[in-house]
Amino acid sequence: MKNDQIIIFGASEAGLNFYDQWSHLYNIKCFMDNDPNKWGKKLNGIDIVSPDVLESRDTVFVASMYYEEIEKQLLEKGLNKIYGCPIFYVCGRSDERYDGALKRIKSKLERLEVSELSISNYSKKYLDSIKKNLSQQLQIYKEIIQVVYTDTDESIENTSFLDYGGGTGILGCLAKELGIKRVYYSDIYDVAVKDARTIATELGYELHGHITGDETTVAKYFLDEGIQLGGIGSYDVLEHIYDVESFFNIILESLEKGASICMATSANSYNPKIVERLIKVHDELEYRDRADYEGHKQRDALDSYFKIRKKIIKNLLNQDVDLENDDIVELLAKKSRGLNQSDIELVVKEYIETGKMNRDRNNRFPSNTCDPYTGNWGEQLIDYDLLVDSLTEQGVDVQLLPKKSIEKSGVLALLLRKV
């Protein structure tokens, strides 16, 4: 792979990030950009050139938010080796099968009229957001599946895959397009499950099963069916799971020995820009009510999480007149940030009995907060150093991707293998 010369289209921050993360795997011929003011200059000591010098045999990786427009431009120039930049993983062997499946499902999605589908407004909004950034979304899905099956000796035609917390189910549909024999889908939201089945049908895919429920329900489903999966994948699910360690302990039971689970997330807590953005998101969820809106996920609260906790705590303290005090309610609501209702009840019970509240907080990311009713984290910033150490101590084979310059990546992936 290192001997293959490639061109990075995009002489900007995205192009630099690509270079920093993947130049150890590729021989970078040059940077390319449509901005004539950059031509003749250098980036990291490498020439920036005009697209006019392209030859049909060139291999181009597009590092730009304008991927669709640039891809069209390159196709008009007769190029056919056009790729989205790797997000968190580069496969060490031929990508032809994956790239072919990617192009086929992309074509189907581009033709799909979302507004005409018999699905909820929530799923329409979700699917529209995927289509607006389709190439990058599909690139992420592709890499999730690739990394799951990288170290397996079994042909993917004979294996199985679960799209966990699948939302619209496009990851599972890509798995099906790849030819994976048995593909399953799960989500905790019953509306999403119904809609995902409709979307799959409209795209021409039939999955083996659609499961409604959390990891406990999913694990029971496969146990009852006598199935052990060949792989599990998800995107933007990990950062919403209330108890991540408990989740992995349960869901790993559904995997066959040697199989992997890859959970990718855009909530990369190593990237300082992402951390800064998500802290603001946390504070919005914690202190501001939201008005209802079209496409709102009905199981998600619209009141601020702080207000909800105060309501829960006040109701719990009503049983003790001496403790029914606004200052105490305020204090307990602040100290119970990031707890679901059942854990809030334990904290209040302890306070009533002892006058104390002993609780370990996530000191690295104290802005984290969750919906008290569901435990759904608001884009949780996870302390991955702590998580990886803990899982490793439990005998789990775990690694973080990308392996290089993770602090510059827009997406982080956690890969676990059942040993």
pLDDT in tens, 102-114: 999 999 999 999 9
Highest mean pLDDT among 24-28, 221-225, 362-366, 400-404 belongs to 221-225
150-167 average pLDDT score: 87
> Where does residue 111 rank: exposed (0-12), middle (13-18), buried (19+ CB within 10 A)?
exposed
pLDDT per position as a tens digit, 84-97: 778 888 765 546 78
Peptide bond into 372 cis (omega under 30): no
CA-based R_g, the chain, Å: 23
182-198 average pLDDT score: 97
- Residue among 222, 210, 152, 153 at smallest CA distance from 176: 210
307-333 average pLDDT score: 81
- The predicted structure's pLDDT at residue 22: 82
- The predicted structure's pLDDT at residue 412: 95
In CATH, the number for domain 96-269+382-417 is 3.40.50.150
What are residue 84's DSSP bridge partners? Answer: 62
pLDDT per position as a tens digit, 49-71: 999 999 989 999 998 878 888 98
> Where does residue 98 rank: exposed (0-12), middle (13-18), buried (19+ CB within 10 A)?
buried
Give whole-number Cα distances, 226 to 217, 221, 223, 417, in Å.
14, 9, 5, 20
C-alpha–C-alpha distance, residues 361 and 357, integer Å: 12
What is the topology classification, in CATH, of domain 5-84?
Rossmann fold (3.40.50)
- Residue among 213, 212, 219 at smallest CA distance from 255: 219
Return the domain boundaries, the chain.
5-84, 96-269+382-417, 272-354
C-alpha–C-alpha distance, residues 31 and 13, integer Å: 12
Q: pTM for this structure?
A: 0.88
Q: Quick one: pLDDT band at residue 226, thresholds 50, 70, 90?
A: very high
CATH fold match for the domains 5-84 and 96-269+382-417: yes
Lowest mean pLDDT among 130-134, 303-307, 349-353, 377-381: 349-353
